[in-house]
Structure 1
Amino acid sequence: MTERKKLVLVGNGMAGVRSIEHLLKLAPDAYDITIIGSEPHPNYNRIMLSHVLAGTAGIDDIVINDWNWYKENNINLITGQTVTKVDVEQRKVITDAGVEVGYDNVILAMGSNPFMPPIPGSDKEGVIAFRNIEDCETMFAAAKSYKKAAVIGGGLLGLEAARGLLDLGMDVTVIHRNPILMNAQLDEPAGRMLQRELEAQGMKFMLSAQTTKMVGGDRVEGLEFKDGSELQTDLVVMAVGIRPNVKLAQDSGIEANQGVVVDDFMQTSAPGVYAVGECIEHRGVSYGLVAPLYDQGAVLAKRLAGVETAGYTGSITSTKLKVSGVDVFSAGVFLEKPGMKALRIQDDLGGTYKKIVIENGKLIGAVLFGDISDGTELFSYIKKGESIEGREKELLLGVSADALGGKGSSTSKFESMPDDEIVCGCNGVTKAMITDAIKNKGCNTLSAIKGCTKAAGSCGGCKSDVEGLLKVYAGDALGEPVKEGICGCTTLSRDEIVAEVSRMGLKTVKEVMNVLEWKEPEGCSKCRPALNYYLGMLFPEEYVDEKESKITNERFHANIQKDGTFSVVPRIYGGVTSPSDLKKIAEVAEKFEVPLVKFTGGQRIDLLGVKKEDLPKMWEELDMPSGHAYGKTLRTVKTCVGNTFCRFGTQDAMGMGIKLEKAFERMTAPAKVKLAVSGCPRNCAEATIKDLGLVAIDGGWELHVGGNGGVHVRATDLLCVVKTEEEVMEWSYAYLQYYRENGNWNERTSTWVERVGLDSIKAALEKQEDRLALKQRLETAIGVTVDPWKEIIEKDDLRKNFEQLSGAQPVRG
């Protein structure tokens, strides 16, 4: 047995401990690990300190790895001690308490120190930084006894501190040397918009101000400025930036400039000594954002584990954050220089701003304020470095350059749109059909257009275009918006219907339509399936599914084709099958003379051209669960081969995919649901355009939500990162049930996430007890369902039961 080496991590922060997490995944038995931290806390998320200060999170909420984690991984944790020297000759580290720990390899991850400008009086009581838990506790105490606070620094850190102090009830003034807030991320227009928003929240500002002195006795009582002005204050928070912590390296004879100098594999100038995080300098650059630090940690872990890896070559950074409730995005070069061009659009009324910077035909930078939905796409263009010539206005405005007609207004877009251009792809409605309805049929509202042409009546993706055409062509005759219900049969919304059904205990579709005074007593193809779903969701153990309220495909458990035949898709869990199942499918396809057998994009086999009368017997002979390729339910769980075969895989993607598919295969939902599991960030299973996608990372899983690869492509949002499969299942159950309970009928998760907001979803799933309650409700709902074809196959007279199932007039859809 190979003897375990000794590894010491100096610093118990985010970058260093993330490196250890990677290492434990790659080589769990290679090292005896000691971690030494200066603070008396386990590893915590420093970025979340502003939430602690604001009162939206407690100390326990921001802990990344608790005390048990160190014990479970046999890590010797030393807290409350600072390493003062690395003896590179004797290979040991020495702490300020005199403790000596030997090493074969050591990682320096001391992070950074808050920069404290040498202002006279800055040593007074009440002058603090904003860098750790102790600083938060000092602010909590100050807010109980004092009323006025000053924050020196108008960057992100300073504004977060100021917001927290406001929430603690203090009168807060932010002092900033630059005339623009967050000048490291924002240009002047965006900075001014941010200032106006924060002033409306109660924050005060002194810009272009230079503090020259802090006055008072033992405790600070005020500030003096270069222009002679003064400010009374009881607390001063210094938030003017950070500096890499290099003192330990310098005292130990290890090369350091602005940071500890490292090569592409995080090796310092001393043998066996590595460094990672905010304390380092790589190719002359130091990083203060989390993403680059985690990239460094991954490289270092592989190096220490003896795994072949490419070196770290640096990072293009972006900042996407919420400052005091305002969304901000910044990436690349956002201040144009000679030779660069900038395009910008500013909406003071809507509170949004967008700017892109171009050089030599390539996008090199962007700033977004208020609406940052385009941030991911723009950052992708910046990183790829490809030409965007001819598409500059499209990227800025979200419409094609041709549609702008050179006028730069939304009106010109609709006026120059060809009459035969299809506006509503779902229903094939052209511009000419919509303008005819407006001009000649008196349709002057969105609701009227829907009723007359069906435009915007299905997925809703063309709603903004229809509204734009209304504004242009209805002119002064434009009608007032009419309250719309889930369909034309009612003015009640989804939430109103669900609330009334719950309150009155209504148990059938007919009862709902009668009691809630439907305009059409029999309902329509939109509301009947919706009501059927809502009743089943609310009362899973009591409600009897009404077959007559299902759409055609769900009634026949197959997809009807344009020639009247059907497509049959048996379930193939995670895209993994067996020779016996393949043989069975082939034999059934031959027996029933199936014209076409096709592999689908969801890693399944589709039998196309099946006659309706053959469906019952065909399902009986297949004796396989339905793949529900027709229903508003789980469709597929696409997987890659993961670490079972792929050299890049970090987790068992196939096993995880099968586990998810078996858990949710009979789950009903407001709309179809597609899942995917990728075994590594290369994302071969395309998990980031699914309703729920898992991406494996070293030591855990990323859960992505709200993606769509259809007509309106949408990349997912990151819901959370978890470490175990049990956590994956807990969060997946909770997320899907929350969607089931709150999504509108026919509303895909991509639309739902945008409508309700990712933050509200995260808040609803934040507490484990809430997640477990949601999980229990979904398990109950799934537990009372069986595969629909088993209900038919298990009866004696298959043909009779099939005719009974399909005899009533189907709902078309």
Structure 2
Amino acid sequence: MNRIVIIGTGMAGYNLAREVRKLAPDVSLTLITGDDGRFYPKPMLSSALSMGKTPDQLATASAEEQARSLDARIMTRTRVTGIDSAGRMVTTDRGEVPYDRLVLAVGAEPIRPPIEGDAADAVLHINNLDDYSAFRRRLEGAQRVAIIGPGLIGCEFANDLLKSGRGVAVIGPDPHPVSTLLPAAAGQALQQALGEAGAAWHLGTTVKGVSREGEGYRLALANGETLSADLVLSAVGLRPSTALARAAGLEVNRGIVTDRLLQTSTPGIYALGDCAEVAGLNLPFVQPLLIGARALARTLTGEETPVSYPAMPVMIKTSLHPVTVAPPPREAEGEWQVEAQEDGGVKALFHAPDGTLLGFAFTGKAAAEARSLIAELPPLLP
């Protein structure tokens, strides 16, 4: 018997279940989730406000509807307490669930920076639809929002809030926005565009404390500055959720370590999505998740299929100044060549010493042209 159990009903869990069901109509399929199991596109959380979408409108299917369409058992509001890999059993607060193949699709969790002050617990973190619903409730009546973290998610939320007419301050130690993906010229172009739209940037520093100030909050920065805000959102990044895997004795590095079959160090247990570190790569984006789901579905249903990743640019949803970036490998030798554009955007190309194109970052109107370069880039995982 092939009993497949998937822990997690985010985009990874549900897309895998869908791919498995296409290949194996009769396989036993169980999904376990700590939330209500609604299906929603998580990347839209940072752009829903300007799209006029409420949290409920983001959800396209309930757990019951998903269970029917997938012919699967979906255990909602269920906490997984352990994995017995020898006995092939998942233990939960609702009983035991046996498996033949187990997939961890548990995603990532917010990094919580150390913050002092009597309002530190009022700082919001958004990682799921429940979090986002709480954010939207708190946002009512709030006109000044402080965002901790000038990375990809922080900039997307800044863009969304600016378009809603709110004042935004972005704080972080980075030299420029999205510094882990963008070269300086591209990050500075994004910074200038969002600044012209009303964003106040406080870079090269961190938030030391958050205290209550009337109906709002006062932020104390490490550089001695203070800011006032009606709402404080932390978006300093995510880290793979590895606690369950670690407790089960699986190898963990940055993420849950897998081979190219997405199998962990323990036979019969696999990992997919933001929680996984595949052949040394942790890629918390949608395209690698979808590619992995298709490959893993074939492996789980009898056809071992190693995952391969082509070049996969990231499109940052900052509609006030669009960005498309394919960062070069971290260890790559070479240099950026930057061409400024009339609209304030940039075209930045990263070439190896032999002239090979290894990465690019296009911003502003040029972002739409970047896709034509994808075919020139080497694959991430051949």
Give TM-score, length-normalised by structure 2.
Answer: 0.90
Following superposition, the deviation at residue 291 of structure 1 comes to 1.0
Q: CA deviation at 1:289?
A: 1.0
Deviations 1:256-288 (A, max 9, x none): 121111111111122321111111112222111
Instruction: Give yes or no for the alignment of 1:351 onto 2:344.
Output: yes
Alignment match of 1:363 (pick from 357, 360, 363)? 357
**Cα distance change, pair 352–257 in 1 and its aligned pair in 2 (3 A):** closer
**1-structure distance, mates of 2:379, 2:116:** 48
- Identify the match of residue 82 of structure 2 among 72, 80, 85: 85
| Distance verdict in 2 for CA 1:307–1:25, change over 3 Å | same
3-state SS of paired residue (1:296): helix
Give, in angstroms, the shift of residue 154 of structure 1.
0.8
From 140, 143, 165, give the equivalent of 1:147. 143
CA distance in 2, matches of 1:374, 1:295: 24
- Aligned partner of 1:326 in structure 2 is 321
SS of 2:292's equivalent in the other structure is helix
Q: 1:74 aligns with which of 71, 74, 86?
A: 71
User: Does the C-alpha gap of structure 1 residues 122 and 301 become closer, same or farther in structure 2, counting only changes over 3 Å?
Assistant: farther
Secondary structure of 1:373's aligned partner: helix
Q: Give the Cα separation in 2 of the matches to 1:121 and 1:34.
A: 43
Query: Residues 143 and 169 of structure 1 are in contact (CA less than 8 Å); yes or no, is this contact kept in structure 2?
Result: no
2:129 pairs with 1:106 = no
Counterpart Cα distance in 2 of 1:379 and 1:242: 27
CA offsets 1:41-79 (integer angstroms, 9 cap, x no match): 422210011232334333454335543232133211111
Q: Given that residues 47 and 317 in structure 2 are in contact (C-alpha distance below 8 angstroms), is that contact kept between their aligned partners in structure 1?
A: no
The TM-score normalised by the length of structure 1 is 0.44
Correspondence for 1:317: 312
Structure 1 pair 273/138, CA: closer, same or farther in 2 (3 Å)? same
**Cα displacement (A) at 1:112:** 0.3
Distance 2:69 2:246 in 1: 34
Q: Which has more strand, going by share of residues?
A: 2
Post-superposition Cα deviations, 1:81-104, rounded to whole Å, max 9, x if no partner, equal 221211213222122x33321111
SS at match of 1:278: helix
Aligned 8 A contact 2:10 2:39 in 1: yes
- Deviation (angstroms), 1:224: 1.1
SS in 1 for 2:251: coil
Runs of 4+ in 1 over 6 A off after TM superposition: 217-220, 334-337
Could you list the per-position Cα deviations for residues 377-433 of structure 1 after superposition, in whole angstroms to 9, with x for gaps in the alignment? Answer: 212101279xxxxxxxxxxxxxxxxxxxxxxxxxxxxxxxxxxxxxxxxxxxxxxxx
Alpha-carbon distance, 1:106 to partner: 1.0
Shift in CA distance, 271/130, structure 1 to aligned 2, threshold 3 Å: same
**Equivalent residue letter for 2:7:** V
Q: How does 1:461-476 map to 2 (within 5 A)?
A: none
SS in 2 for 1:113: strand
Structure 2 unaligned regions, length at least 5: none
5 Å matches for 1:123-142?
A: 124-142=120-138
Paired AA for residue 65 in structure 2: N
Measured at CA, do residues 218 and 12 of structure 1 come closer, stay the same or move farther in structure 2, by a change above 3 Å? farther
* Deviation string, structure 1 residues 729-760 (Cα, Å, up to 9, x no partner): xxxxxxxxxxxxxxxxxxxxxxxxxxxxxxxx
Unaligned runs of 5+ in 1: 386-813
Aligned length: 377
Distance 1:136-1:169 versus aligned 2 partners, 3 A rule: farther
Q: Check if 1:300 corresponds to 2:296.
A: yes
Decide whether aligned partners of structure 1 residues 86 and 308 sit closer, same or farther in structure 2, where only a CA change above 3 A counts. Answer: closer
Q: Aligned letter for 2:322?
A: D
User: Relative to total residues, which structure has the larger helix share, 1 or 2?
Assistant: 1
Separation of aligned partners in 1, 2:133 and 2:142: 14
CA distance 1:165–1:232, change in 2 (3 Å): same
Matches of 2:154 and 2:278, distance apart in 1 = 27
The DSSP-based 3-state class of the residue aligned with 2:120 is coil
Match of 2:250 in 1: 254
Offset of 1:197 from its aligned partner? 1.4
> What pairs with 1:535-554 in structure 2 (closer than 5 Å)?
none
Aligned identity (percent) is 31
8 Å contact from structure 1 (residues 336, 342) kept in 2: no
Q: Indicate the residue corresponding to 1:157 in structure 2.
A: 153
Code of the aligned partner of 1:375: A
In structure 2, do the counterparts of structure 1 residues 267 and 196 end up closer, same or farther at CA, with 3 Å as the change threshold?
same
**In 1: Cα distance, 2:335 partner to 2:205 partner:** 31
Q: 1:27 aligns with which of 24, 28, 46?
A: 24
The aligned residue for residue 374 of structure 2 is 379
Partner of 2:41: 45
Distance 1:48 1:162 in 2: 14
Tell me if the contact between 2:18 and 2:70 (Cα under 8 Å) persists in the aligned partners. no
